[in-house]
Amino acid sequence: MKCSIDPAVTEVLNNHKGGNKLKTAWDRYEAQQPQCGFGELGVCCRHCMQGPCRIDPFGEGPDRGICGATADTIVARGVARAVAGGTASHSGHALHIAHVLKKMLAGKTPDYAIKDEVKLKAVAGRCGIAIEGRSSKEIAQDLVEKALSEFGDKGEALTWAATTVTKARLETFSKLGIVPTSIDGTIAEVMHRTTYGVDADPVNILLGALKCAVADYTACHLATDLSDILFGTPQPVVSKANLGVLKEDAVNIALHGHNPLLSDIIAQVASEPEMIAEAQAAGAAGGLNVVGICCTGNEIMMRHGIPLATSSISQEVAIMTGAIDAMVVDYQCIMPAIATAAECFHTKVITTMPIAKMPGAEHIAFSDENAVECARAILRQGIERFKSRNPDKVCIPQKSSTAIAGFSAEAIVAALAKVNADDPLKPLIDNIVAGNIRGICLFAGCNTVKVPQDHNYIEMVKKLLAENVLILATGCASSAYARHGFMTSEATIRYAGKGLAAVLTVIGEAAGLGGPLPPVLHMGSCVDNPRAVDVAVAIANKLGVDVSQLPVVASAPEAVTEKAVAIGTWAVAGGLPTHLGVVPPVLGSKLVTEVLTSTVKDLLGGYFIVEPDPAKAAVALLTVIDERRAGLGL
């Protein structure tokens, strides 16, 4: 199978100078074949030491684990634990930002400041915090206490969940008993109920998973809000994407992971004249070239226009260009294989977080109290490594695409306000009603070795755009569309249907872009998915309906991580039909499969659509969009 449809990735895979022994994720996937069929179906249980227990999917062997758990129970527990794993990741990310904000307000982190007071007031106001006559610091102090209270048990609905969904959605959550009162408590509850001898009712376990997913949504929303307050709410910015953004004559520093706490500071420090001079003194005429990988790449592209080198699945390929002097990582989606790949080149891999170290990497503990000095020390490591770069091993594909990024919900509303200042959502809603915008699809999630990288994304988006579906993208989905040139005005002209192209042209020109808005709007990293919810909720509230009635769908056509499972599950809880292009490990239970793809529709409006064929998946999403349009009388 082809590894990737990204020509830059393919070029490096074919021509790198790392030697034959260098293996990639695709090689290791090959070596794993055939993968465990029990695991693929979700019917292997390792929750106690009497196991592992496996249920025979053909009905000829054991139909129960040693404790008596059925396939339904085992599969449901697997789903719930995956959601809890994803939620724990987002919780850690969000809590980290909240702690830094708190320390900043106490004067302990001088390198951070409130960058976006408008956002601070908007979030605080939404959370019920008094604004009038108060200083930003006073407001922020109340807000950070409110944020921190979301992680422990506050004994009432989580504020970030309750205040960012429609009233009807909150009532639906309440009826089903899936309103979390604690982010971390809900994760612990899932771990408790799915351990040996607790919850054996598969439907009850899935309700627990949905509640945990709502906690995940809360953590993601909180992380995005606090990041915007500290680092600024993204606004449209023109940048570049793909491996061609690496420079032969510069010190290339790749920032990889998720949390902007480190990467934003490095991005700022890298433009200091003294740091650039140090790089030049080391022989790099081009100075310092900071690039992003994975969702850190999305964060710094959205806020600083820093180019994105590649996505998570091809992180090793970035090293195989032989041109990265330091790869600096924080946490999440960082393959330990990068340290092995780096051994074949001069690249230094630098870990920075106490919970995410890696054999073969150098650890430089990141201190938020001393962030700028830490960032400088990290950059100097890269500058030092540049001196041992072997030019004969450099293989930089001359391939990159322009990408307009920075479409936070606020930026989208601001662009619409250029068309109608009094009622910004009106042009969007009018065009949905008129059919110029047939629907909206949020693409999220990762790239997987199980599909040629980006294949499903590109196939689906071409079909949906031609049918006038506006595309929002986050995480590695946005990386795919940025690298393949879907975030430009030209892409609108080339791929969008007539109605959609006309709308995007009016908005783009009114917003001063000198051409149409891109047909795929980059909304940020994977933690930023709630930005898309904010847009959908604003439309729903204006129309007086729930999100589950809107012609809005979601897709994770190349999903990988537990975080993607958590996000997909809250998208379903939020009322969105959500496509998965990779079959999740649930087919070992008819009941669980039925609940997730059908029963849940009656309860929440959202449900999973599993379709590996991207052409069929696009048709399925269009069908759903049309059903919903009909439901609204459109």
Residues of the shown chain interacting with ligand MSK in the complex, contacts defined by CB under 6 A? 258, 294-295, 312, 333, 445-446, 475-476, 525-526, 560-561, 563-564
- Name the residue type at position 509: E
Report phi then psi at 343, rounded to 5.
-60, -25
Instruction: Provide the minimum distance between the beta carbon of 525 and ligand MSK in the complex, in angstroms, as a whole number.
Output: 6
Residue labelled with tokens 């051994």: 343
Helix (H) or strand (E) holding 341: helix 337-343
**Distance in angstroms (rounded) separating the CA atoms of residues 135 and 141:** 10
**Nearest to ligand MSK of 445, 575 (CB atom):** 445
**Distance in angstroms (rounded) separating the CA atoms of residues 428 and 445:** 25
Instruction: Provide the minimum distance between the beta carbon of 476 and ligand MSK in the complex, in angstroms, as a whole number.
Output: 3
**Nearest to ligand MSK of 109, 478 (CB atom):** 478
Residues 6+ apart with CB under 8 A from 132: none
**Nearest to ligand MSK of 385, 563 (CB atom):** 563
Closest CA to 119 of 250, 18, 233, 256: 233
Instruction: Provide the minimum distance between the beta carbon of 312 and ligand MSK in the complex, in angstroms, as a whole number.
Output: 4
Instruction: Provide the minimum distance between the beta carbon of 333 and ligand MSK in the complex, in angstroms, as a whole number.
Output: 3
Instruction: Provide the minimum distance between the beta carbon of 294 and ligand MSK in the complex, in angstroms, as a whole number.
Output: 4
- Where are the alpha helices (H) located in 470-528, listed in sequence order? 475-483, 489-495, 498-510
Instruction: Provide the minimum distance between the beta carbon of 123 and ligand MSK in the complex, in angstroms, as a whole number.
Output: 22
Judged on CB neighbours under 10 Å (0-12, 13-18, 19+), 422 is exposed
CB 574 within 8 A of CB 533: yes
**Nearest to ligand MSK of 79, 473 (CB atom):** 473
**Distance in angstroms (rounded) separating the CA atoms of residues 577 and 626:** 12
**Nearest to ligand MSK of 310, 431 (CB atom):** 310
Instruction: Provide the minimum distance between the beta carbon of 567 and ligand MSK in the complex, in angstroms, as a whole number.
Output: 8
**Nearest to ligand MSK of 221, 258 (CB atom):** 258
Instruction: Provide the minimum distance between the beta carbon of 559 and ligand MSK in the complex, in angstroms, as a whole number.
Output: 7
**Nearest to ligand MSK of 166, 218 (CB atom):** 218
Query: HEC profile for 7-69?
Result: HHHHHHHHHCCCCCCCCCHHHHHHHCCCCCHHHHHCCEECCCCCCCEECCCCCCCCCCCCCCC
Instruction: Provide the minimum distance between the beta carbon of 600 and ligand MSK in the complex, in angstroms, as a whole number.
Output: 23
Residue 267: strand, helix, or coil: helix
Instruction: Provide the minimum distance between the beta carbon of 297 and ligand MSK in the complex, in angstroms, as a whole number.
Output: 9
Judged on CB neighbours under 10 Å (0-12, 13-18, 19+), 248 is middle
**Distance in angstroms (rounded) separating the CA atoms of residues 540 and 549:** 8
**Distance in angstroms (rounded) separating the CA atoms of residues 256 and 442:** 23
Determine the Cα angle at 242 with ends 310 and 395, to 5°.
Answer: 95
Instruction: Provide the minimum distance between the beta carbon of 447 and ligand MSK in the complex, in angstroms, as a whole number.
Output: 7
**Nearest to ligand MSK of 468, 578 (CB atom):** 578
**Distance in angstroms (rounded) separating the CA atoms of residues 474 and 607:** 20
**Nearest to ligand MSK of 246, 446 (CB atom):** 446
**Nearest to ligand MSK of 294, 482 (CB atom):** 294
**Distance in angstroms (rounded) separating the CA atoms of residues 209 and 80:** 5
- Whats the size of the chain, residue-wise? 634
Instruction: Provide the minimum distance between the beta carbon of 58 and ligand MSK in the complex, in angstroms, as a whole number.
Output: 33
**Nearest to ligand MSK of 24, 505 (CB atom):** 24
Helix, strand, coil shares, percent, the chain, to 5: 50, 10, 35
Report phi then psi at 561, rounded to 5.
-90, 165
**Nearest to ligand MSK of 194, 561 (CB atom):** 561
Burial 168-191 (b: 16+ CB within 10 A, else e): bbbebbeebebbbbbbbebbebbb
**Distance in angstroms (rounded) separating the CA atoms of residues 430 and 436:** 9
Instruction: Provide the minimum distance between the beta carbon of 326 and ligand MSK in the complex, in angstroms, as a whole number.
Output: 20
**Nearest to ligand MSK of 294, 342 (CB atom):** 294
**Distance in angstroms (rounded) separating the CA atoms of residues 49 and 124:** 48
